[in-house]
Amino acid sequence: MRDVIIACDFKNQDELFKFLEPFKGLNPFLKIGMEIFYKEGPQLVRKLKDMGCKIFLDLKLHDIPNTVEKAMRNIADLGVEITNVHAAGGILMMQAARRGLDSNPNGKNTKLIAVTQLTSISQQILEEELHIHEPLSEVVKAYALNAKKAGLDGVVCSALEAPIIKELGLISVTPGIRFQDDAVGDQKRVATPSYAKELGSTYIVVGRSITASADPVAAYKRCVKEFC
Ligand code: C5P
Give 140-172 pLDDT, tens digit per residue: 999 999 999 999 999 999 899 999 999 999 999
Q: What number is the average pLDDT over the span 215-227?
A: 98
Q: What number is the average pLDDT over the span 107-120?
A: 93
Q: How far, in Å, from the CA of 208 to the mean position of ligand 1? A: 9
pLDDT over threshold 80, residue 183: no
pLDDT for the residue numbered 97: 98
Give the lowest-confidence range in 69-83, 156-170, 185-199.
185-199
Residue in 205, 206, 209 to alter for ligand 1 test, most ligand atoms within 8 A of Cβ: 205
pLDDT over threshold 90, residue 121: no
Q: How far, in Å, from the CA of 170 to the mean position of ligand 1? A: 20
Ligand 1 cavity residues, CB under 6 Å = 7, 9, 33, 118-119, 156, 175-177, 187, 205-209
Q: pLDDT confidence of 189, banded at 50, 70, 90?
A: confident
Q: How far, in Å, from the CA of 175 to the mean position of ligand 1? A: 5
CA 157 to ligand 1: nearest atom:
21
Residues 6+ apart with CB under 8 A from 170: 144, 147, 148, 152, 153, 154, 155
Q: pLDDT confidence of 118, banded at 50, 70, 90?
A: confident
Q: What number is the average pLDDT over the span 2-21?
A: 97
Q: pLDDT confidence of 186, banded at 50, 70, 90?
A: confident
pLDDT for the residue numbered 116: 93
pLDDT over threshold 90, residue 173: yes
**Options 47, 60, 166, 221, the catalytic residue:** 60
Q: How far, in Å, from the CA of 205 to the mean position of ligand 1? A: 7
User: Catalytic: 60?
Assistant: yes
Q: Say what the pTM is.
A: 0.95
